[in-house]
């Protein structure tokens, strides 16, 4: 029998999980943390266990994911894409093993062999190959039916389009996870709450050309349907995946016994933040395919696999205040000032609230007791509010509609492609009328990728700003060094070094100059394209004329967004004055034409670690002068990874996995010396 109270509670939770599923799978906007979602799922399953008569089609015991979006053509999976049961501790794993042993009638002393694989927090996809050709790709959808996102998946470099291996099945559905690295996510964080949302949103673009702009990655880990596969276990299948050209996780491992699974889980959890993508647990699969076949499935999950989730690096604190920070592009970012709390060995006193929409969605207020999460290098963020501890007198936080720096009315940009307004609110000033934007522009102007003024970091910019030594970029070249010498921490030598660095920075090529002045949407690569098109510095200063700006539309890689930004920049009188002053102070030269047939022609390079007696900018310039190309990620397109002092281990490891040439700075110099 089911009592009324239990039934009411059950259907309330079913309705809630359906709502969470819609926002998570369909809208790419999770309403709760993974931990809260997992707990709700457990609550429903427990109610069903306690009251067997309770059943609903939307129960997590019967349903996977959410129905496919109407924006894409639907297609059936030949073999359903099911979810996994979760384990949170050793006891859960023992119960998992016990059920398997009982089901197979094995001896209790039998030690099962598992394939342990990191659970990537991304978007599941199924890739169908026929005769070695990738011809269809589906999202998981509701497990039975997915969205046809073939053209978007084809833009991902990690997905082979043709496989000629003799042992590759005539037809097979390769399954894996689409994700974005944390490093790449830094450039998308204004648009999405986390890397998973960024991957999901990018993969479900209607226009594949927009998806192509996003650095999506793919790691394969299993298969659905297969016509003629002759492989005996999961670990051998993973080896074959790699031989067929798919990326697999280097952390995959064969393990026997629950104690060893727990040990590996504990070891991996400690180093999970050294990995450049989000991992939220480890999946354990019975290694033998014969045993997997015998075990089969329950309603929506295999009996032979389970996900052992990680504990999040989180803690509870109180919001003391909410500070609105203004970035270089005018973006207003709310930051919670919290009571200092230790999270994962680091004392945290600030946590990002992302944007106005996030504050409204979570109903975050000053004085709230909140859960704060910190994951590796990701900025600490508030994930939930404990409303039971909220003061009765607390008031909703009203996001300022005026810039806290200059008082201008803030705006939200309208995206013509999505037909939606951005989540980020911005100060509309595109010049130096807003002090905060002006200061951030100067920080950008002196940064390593721009003028690269040694000894002129962010803290120095702030100090000189407060002392009223600088207000515009050109003020840097008119500094009164006698006044600087009187500041605390400055002496003859440090002032002399700064003066030398500033004088040296006056000589700059056009592309670096364009990048350094900080026009929104004009990064380093766009600056190079514009410089190459304009040919000489004089033409850049003529962009005040509308026809000159319109001519940039002929440049491949420069679109309406960039043109609009350039027009806005050149329509600002203060910006024009800054340009005129910089033209007087600096020697801006034409970019050196790269050798079309140089010694490094068609070779790509990437750096990691500190170089000796040479800046990275100088090294990059030398490579480009000799027809080489610099890329920003370790991938199949990279020919040489140049390592300096204290290189990033994960870059070196990835390069080794991809058989990329790893060379020292001296070896690079030897290559360059052979340019006769």
Which residue numbers are catalytic?
119
Q: How far apart are CA 225 and CA 77, in angstroms?
A: 9
Q: How far apart are CA 378 and CA 14, in angstroms?
A: 33
Cβ count within 10 A of residue 417: 9
Residue by residue, DSSP assigns 302-369 as: BTTEEEEEPPP-EEEEEEEEEEEEE-TT-BEEEEEEEEEEEETTEEEEEEE--SHHHHHHHT--TT-E
CA angle, corner 272, sides to 271 and 276, nearest 5? 115
- Edge-to-edge strands of the sheet including 604-608? 629-630, 604-608, 640-643, 661-664
Q: How far apart are CA 282 and CA 307, in angstroms?
A: 6
Collapsing DSSP states into helix, strand and coil, what is residue 23? helix
The alpha carbon of 76 is separated from its chain's Cα centroid by a whole number of angstroms, namely: 30
Alpha-carbon torsion, ordered 386, 388, 389, 395, to 10 deg = 90
Alpha carbons within 13 angstroms on the beta-carbon side of residue 152 total: 24
Q: How far is CA 492 from CA 225, 249, 430, in A?
A: 73, 54, 37
Interhelix angle for 258-271 vs 90-104, to 10°?
140
Q: How far apart are CA 566 and CA 511, in angstroms?
A: 14
The pair of three-digit structure tokens given for residue 5, joined into one six-digit string: 């109270």
Q: How far is CA 318 from CA 33, 312, 356, in A?
A: 18, 19, 19
The answer to whether residues 147 and 185 touch, using CB atoms and an 8 Å cutoff, is: no
Q: How far apart are CA 69 and CA 77, in angstroms?
A: 15
Q: How far apart are CA 303 and CA 293, in angstroms?
A: 10
Q: How far apart are CA 197 and CA 357, in angstroms?
A: 15
CA angle, corner 632, sides to 418 and 655, nearest 5? 125
């Amino acid at each position: 029998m089911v009592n009324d109270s239990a039934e009411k509670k059950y259907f309330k939770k079913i309705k809630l999980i359906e709502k969470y599923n819609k926002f998570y799978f369909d809208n790419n906007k999770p309403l709760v943390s993974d931990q809260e979602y997992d707990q709700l799922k457990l609550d429903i399953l427990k109610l069903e266990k306690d009251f067997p008569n309770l059943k609903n089609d939307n129960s997590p015991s019967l349903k996977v994911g959410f129905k496919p979006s109407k924006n894409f053509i639907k297609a059936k999976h030949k073999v359903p894409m099911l979810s996994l049961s979760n384990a949170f501790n050793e006891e859960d794993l023992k119960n998992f093993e016990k059920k398997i042993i009982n089901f197979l009638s094995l001896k209790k002393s039998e030690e099962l062999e598992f394939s342990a694989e990191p659970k990537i927090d991304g978007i599941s996809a199924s890739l169908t190959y026929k005769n070695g050709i990738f011809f269809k790709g589906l999202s998981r959808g509701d497990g039975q039916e997915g969205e046809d996102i073939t053209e978007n998946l084809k833009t991902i470099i990690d997905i082979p389009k043709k496989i000629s291996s003799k042992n590759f099945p005539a037809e097979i559905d390769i399954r894996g996870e689409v994700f974005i690295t944390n490093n790449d996510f830094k450039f998308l964080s204004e648009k999405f709450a986390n890397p998973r949302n960024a991957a999901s949103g990018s993969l479900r673009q209607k226009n594949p050309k927009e998806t192509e702009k996003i650095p999506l990655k793919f790691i394969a880990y299993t298969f659905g349907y297969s016509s003629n596969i002759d492989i005996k276990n999961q670990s051998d299948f993973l080896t074959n995946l790699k031989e067929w050209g798919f990326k697999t996780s280097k952390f995959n491992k064969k393990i026997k016994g629950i104690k060893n699974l727990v040990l590996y889980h504990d070891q991996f959890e400690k180093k999970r933040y050294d990995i450049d993508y989000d991992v939220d647990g480890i999946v354990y699969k019975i290694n033998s395919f014969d045993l997997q076949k015998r075990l089969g499935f329950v309603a929506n999950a295999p009996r032979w696999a389970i996900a052992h989730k990680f504990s999040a690096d989180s803690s509870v604190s109180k919001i003391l205040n909410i500070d609105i920070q203004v970035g270089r592009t005018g973006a207003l970012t709310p930051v919670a000032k919290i009571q200092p709390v230790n999270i994962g060995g680091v004392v945290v006193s600030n946590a990002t609230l992302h944007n106005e929409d996030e504050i409204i969605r979570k109903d975050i207020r000053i004085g709230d007791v909140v859960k704060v999460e910190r994951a590796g290098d990701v900025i600490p963020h508030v994930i939930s509010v404990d409303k039971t501890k909220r003061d009765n007198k607390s008031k909703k936080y009203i996001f300022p509609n005026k810039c806290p720096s200059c008082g201008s009315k803030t705006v939200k940009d309208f995206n013509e492609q999505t037909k939606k307004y951005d989540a980020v609110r911005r100060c509309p000033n595109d010049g130096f009328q807003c002090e905060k934007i002006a200061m951030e522009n100067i920080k950008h102007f002196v940064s390593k990728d721009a003028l690269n003024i040694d000894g002129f970091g962010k803290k120095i910019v702030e100090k000189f700003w407060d002392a009223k030594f600088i207000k515009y970029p050109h003020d840097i070249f008119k500094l009164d060094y006698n006044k600087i010498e009187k500041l605390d921490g400055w002496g003859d030598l440090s002032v002399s070094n700064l003066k030398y660095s500033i004088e040296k920075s006056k000589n700059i090529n056009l592309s670096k100059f364009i990048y350094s002045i900080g026009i929104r949407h004009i990064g380093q690569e766009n600056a190079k394209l514009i410089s190459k098109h304009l040919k000489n510095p004089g033409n850049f200063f003529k962009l005040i004329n509308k026809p000159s700006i319109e001519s940039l539309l002929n440049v491949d890689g420069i679109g309406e967004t960039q043109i609009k930004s350039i027009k806005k920049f050149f329509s600002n009188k203060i910006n024009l004055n800054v340009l005129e002053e910089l033209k007087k102070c600096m020697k801006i030269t034409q970019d050196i034409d790269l050798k079309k047939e140089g010694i490094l022609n068609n070779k790509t390079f990437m750096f990691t670690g500190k170089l000796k007696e040479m800046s990275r900018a100088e090294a990059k310039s030398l490579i480009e002068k000799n027809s080489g190309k610099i890329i920003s990620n370790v991938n199949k397109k990279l020919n040489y990874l140049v390592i300096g002092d204290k290189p990033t281990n994960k870059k070196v490891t990835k390069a080794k996995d991809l058989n990329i040439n790893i060379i020292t700075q001296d070896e690079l110099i030897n290559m360059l010396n052979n340019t006769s």
